[in-house]
Amino acid sequence: MYDLIRPLLFMLDAETAHGLTLYAADVAQRSRLSGLVATPPADLPVRAFGIDFPNPVGLAAGLDKNGDHLDGLAAMGFGFIEIGTVTPRPQPGNDKPRMFRLPEHEAVINRLGFNNGGIDALVRNVEKAAYRGVLGINIGKNKDTPNERAVDDYLLCLEKAYPLASYVTVNISSPNTQGLRDLQEEETLRRFIGTLRDAQERLAGQHGRRKPMLLKIAPDLTEAELDAIADVLLASGIDGVICTNTTIDRGHVAGHPLAGETGGLSGRPLFAKSTAVLRAMRERVGDRLPIVGVGGIVDGDTAAQKMEAGAALVQVYSGLVYRGPKLVAEAVAEIRRRGIVA
């Protein structure tokens, strides 16, 4: 069905189409018509960072920033759903237009800028949702919070998200909040993660259950930066890493009329770069740290390649724009076919 409606959606502004698609998913779920939109895959159980996943293909953060659409999205068969990025206070994000499709490249450029309703709104949405599957909550900082006080924003979000999340992702890698990626610098990251890890252990005692914490990193990192980040992650005892966020590199879309738009590039052109970072991180951390692979998954083959490069789980987002919900079942089927997950 998505193949039939995609041309109509592509006649709309990308962000408008995004909102309409989420609305349609909600309507289909409430009307019990989700089966016409997507056939959920058969289970392919995976265990990572202490959590059992029904299948290894999840939804990346960014599509449902506020947790408004959990039940509609769950009907698509994701093994897990990650919502956010959420900040302590509501913020509108960057000026529109701020999302652009590049169909020739199966790509998207966005400079949304952590537009969201704030952590309290997200908590209310999660509490009223029927979804009880694996839920990641991706946390960030408000645009006007200086980096010197950024950890306070993450601590506040961690505190409020912790009781509801299956795991929490710390996002310091978006290119759309000025200066955010500076938090990936080695000594800054060491202090930053150390503070959050202390809070994680305190919250585990307070709530009687330890929730994993993951760090999401950028694809635009040098070998030396990857060395430093890997050292910090292993020393900190963090539970996992997500490779990667969107890229500021335009090499694969050079010459496209929209290539000059600022923001993060995702979709097929990101695949090679993000997978190289995933593979490089796996080489550095060995089997000591689970990795979630995201970036450029547009079919079953690219999903399986992420797993073969060392990912324990994968996430999709921009691929859904071009392939629709069937991408989930296709990815699970190809991972199963290759025997990557027993």
Candidate list 166, 173, 174, 266, residue with the active-site label: 174
Instruction: Kindly state whether residue 228 falls inside one of the protein's structural domains.
Output: yes
Instruction: Kindly state whether residue 39 falls inside one of the protein's structural domains.
Output: yes
Q: What pLDDT score was predicted for residue 4?
A: 85
Instruction: Kindly state whether residue 125 falls inside one of the protein's structural domains.
Output: yes
Least confident of 32-36, 173-177, 250-254, 290-294: 32-36
pLDDT band for 124, please (50, 70, 90 cuts): very high
| 3-state per-residue secondary structure call for the chain | CHHHHHHHHCCCCHHHHHHHHHHHHHHHHHCCCHHHHCCCCCCCCEEECCEEECCCEEECCCCCCCCCCHHHHHCCCCCEEEEEEECCCCECCCCCCCEEEEHHHCEEEECCCCCECCHHHHHHHHHHCCCCCCEEEEECCCCCCCHHHHHHHHHHHHHHHCCCCCEEEEECCCCCCCCHHHHHCHHHHHHHHHHHHHHHHHHHHHHCCCCCEEEEECCCCCHHHHHHHHHHHHHHCCCEEEECCCECCCHHHCCCCCCCCCCEEEEHHHHHHHHHHHHHHHHHHCCCCCEEEECCCCCHHHHHHHHHCCCCEEEECHHHHHHCCHHHHHHHHHHHHCCCCC
Work out how many domains the chain is built from and give that number: 1
Q: What would the pLDDT profile of 226-246 be if each residue is shown by its tens digit?
A: 999 999 999 999 999 999 999
Active site residue 174: yes
pLDDT band for 3, please (50, 70, 90 cuts): confident
Q: What pLDDT score was predicted for residue 342?
A: 60
Instruction: Kindly state whether residue 342 falls inside one of the protein's structural domains.
Output: no
Q: What pLDDT score was predicted for residue 36?
A: 67
Q: What would the pLDDT profile of 43-93 be if each residue is shown by its tens digit?
A: 999 999 999 999 999 999 999 999 999 999 999 999 999 999 999 999 999
Instruction: Kindly state whether residue 284 falls inside one of the protein's structural domains.
Output: yes
* CATH code of residue 142: 3.20.20.70
Q: Is the pLDDT of residue 34 over 80?
A: no
> Mean pLDDT across the chain, nearest whole number?
96
Instruction: Kindly state whether residue 183 falls inside one of the protein's structural domains.
Output: yes
The parent domain of residue 314 ranges over 2-337
Instruction: Kindly state whether residue 188 falls inside one of the protein's structural domains.
Output: yes
Q: What would the pLDDT profile of 140-196 be if each residue is shown by its tens digit?
A: 999 999 999 999 999 999 999 999 999 999 999 999 999 999 999 999 999 999 999
Q: What pLDDT score was predicted for residue 211?
A: 98
Q: What would the pLDDT profile of 88-123 be if each residue is shown by its tens digit?
A: 999 999 999 999 999 999 999 999 999 999 999 999
Instruction: Kindly state whether residue 102 falls inside one of the protein's structural domains.
Output: yes
